[in-house]
Structure 1
Amino acid sequence: MVKSLVTGLCLAVFAAVIIGLSNLLGLDLEHVALLGAALGGVLGLVPHRPAWGKVVGFLVGFLLAWLGFALRAAVLPDSSSGRAVAAFVVVALIAVVAAVSRGRLPLWSGLVGAASIVGAYESVYTNAPSQFLSESPAAATTVLLAVGLGFLATNLLAAQTDSSTPGTVRRTNGKPTKRAEASGSNTNLDDLVTGATK
C-alpha cells in the first residue's frame, strides 16, 4: 500500500515536472504530460522478463501506430471505415510481433506504445490530416519524452524499494532462489503466469 502511494506521488511530481519543463523550454508537453507519465508508469510498473522486452515492445507498438497514421494520410479515406482498417492493421501487426517474439515483446507493451501516439496525435491528425509529415514528429517526440520520464520515475523508485523489501523472490536463470516469507508473500504477475509460485 505504501509503495503504491509513494509511486503514485512520484509520478504526480514527474507529471508536474513535465509541464514545468514544457513552459521553461518552450515545448508543447502540457497536453501529453498526464498521458505520458501514466503510460510510462504502467510500462515501468508491470513486471516482464526480459526487462528490455517491454521497452522494445512499446517502441514497436508506437512505431506501428505512427505508420498507421501514415497509412491513413497516404492511402485510406478519412472516414470511419479508413480508421477501422488502420486500427485493425496496427493491432494485428502488434499481435503478430508479440507472437513471433514468443512473448519476449509482450502484447500489452505494444498496445501501450500504440495508445501513447494515438492519445497524443489523434486530435491533431483529425484537424489536419495533410500536415502529417510536419505535425506527427513533434507529437511523437513530446509524448516519448513524457513516457520516458514516467518510466524513469517508476524504475528509480522500484530499484530502491526492491533492494530493501524483505521476502522478495529473487531469480537466477528464471528460477526462484529465495522464497517469499510466509507472513508477507508477494506474488507478482510473472510468477503467476510462469507457475513459479505455488
Structure 2
Amino acid sequence: MRRSLIAGLVLAVFSALIIWLGDWLGLDLEHIALLGAALGGVLGLVPHSLPIGKLGGFVVGFVVAWVGFALRAAVLPDSSSGRAVAAFLVVAVIAAACGVSAGRLPLWSGLLGAAAIVGAYEETYTNAPSQFLQDSPTAGSTVLFAVALGYLATSLVAEGLPTPAAGASSWNRWFTRAEPNPAAGDDAGGIDDILSGESK
C-alpha cells in the first residue's frame, strides 16, 4: 500500500510536470500528458522477468501502430473496413513479434506502445490524413516524452533502481531473466504467466 501511494503521488507530480515542461518547451503536451504519464507509469510498475524486454515490447508496439497509420494513409481506404484491416494487422503483428520473442517481449507492453501512438495521434490523423508525414512525428515524439517521464516516475523514482542479484551488476540485471524465489513468495512470471494462461 505504501509503495503504491508513493508511486501514485510521484506520478501525479510528474503528470503536472509534463504539462509545465510542455508549455516551457513550446510542446503541445496538455492533451496527452495524462495519457503518456499513465502508460509510462504502467510500464514502470508492472514487473517482467526481463526488464529491458518490456521496453522493447513497448517500442515494437509503438512502431507497428505507427506503420499502421502509414498504411491507412497510403494504401487502405478511409472507411470502417480500412480501419478494421489496419487494427487487425497492427494487433496481429504485435502478437506475432511477442510470440517469436519467446516471452522476452511481453504482449501487454506491446499493446501499451500501440495505445500510446493511437491515443496521441488518432484524432489528428482523422482530421488530416494527408498530413501524416508532417503530423505523426510530432505526435509520436510528444507522447514518447510523456511516457518516458511517467516511466521514470514509477520505475526509477518511486520504485528505485532494480536490486541486482548476488554477484550481478545492475546493468546485467536488466538483461537477465529474474529467477523466482519461492521462499519469498515469488511467482514464476506474474502477469506474464496470467496472460499466457500458465499461472498456477
| Identity within the alignment, % | 65
Change (3 A) 1:47 1:89: same
Indicate the residue corresponding to 2:138 in structure 1.
138
Distance 1:129 1:174 in 2: 44
Amino acid at match of 2:116: S
Q: 1:61 to 1:107 in 2, by over 3 A?
A: same
Task: Give the match for residue 160 of structure 2.
Answer: 159
Q: Is the 8 A contact 1:117 1:143 kept in 2?
A: yes
5+ long unaligned stretches in structure 1: 164-170
Alignment of 1:31-50 (within 5 A): 31-50=31-50
> Cα RMSD over matched residues?
2.3
Distance 1:38 1:189 in 2: 26
Residue 88 and residue 176 in structure 1: after superposition, are their counterparts in 2 closer, same or farther (change >3 A)? closer
- Please identify the structure whose Cα radius of gyration is greater: 1
Q: Which runs of 4+ in 1 moved over 4 A?
A: 171-174
Q: Which residue of 2 aligns with 1:190?
A: 189
Alpha-carbon displacement from aligned partner over 1:89-113 (angstroms, at most 9, x marks no partner): 0000000001100110011100000
Offset, 1:176: 4.4
TM-score, normalization by structure 1: 0.85
CA offsets per residue over residues 168-189 of structure 1, 9 Å max, x none? xxx9964346832xxxx5x567
Tell me how far apart the structure 2 counterparts of residues 13 and 51 of structure 1 sit (CA, whole Å).
24
SS at structure 2 position matched to 1:76 = coil
Correspondence for 1:8: 8
Larger RCO, structure (CA 8 Å, separation 6 or more): 2
Q: Identify if the C-alpha distance between structure 1 residues 177 and 25 changes in structure 2 by more than 3 Å, giving closer, same or farther.
A: same
1:179 aligned onto 2:186:
no
**C-alpha offsets along residues 96-144 of structure 1, whole Å, 9 cap, x if unaligned?**
0011001100111000000000000000000000000000000000000
Give the TM-score of the pair, scaled to structure 2. 0.84
CA 1:189–1:62 in 2, change beyond 3 Å: closer, same or farther?
farther
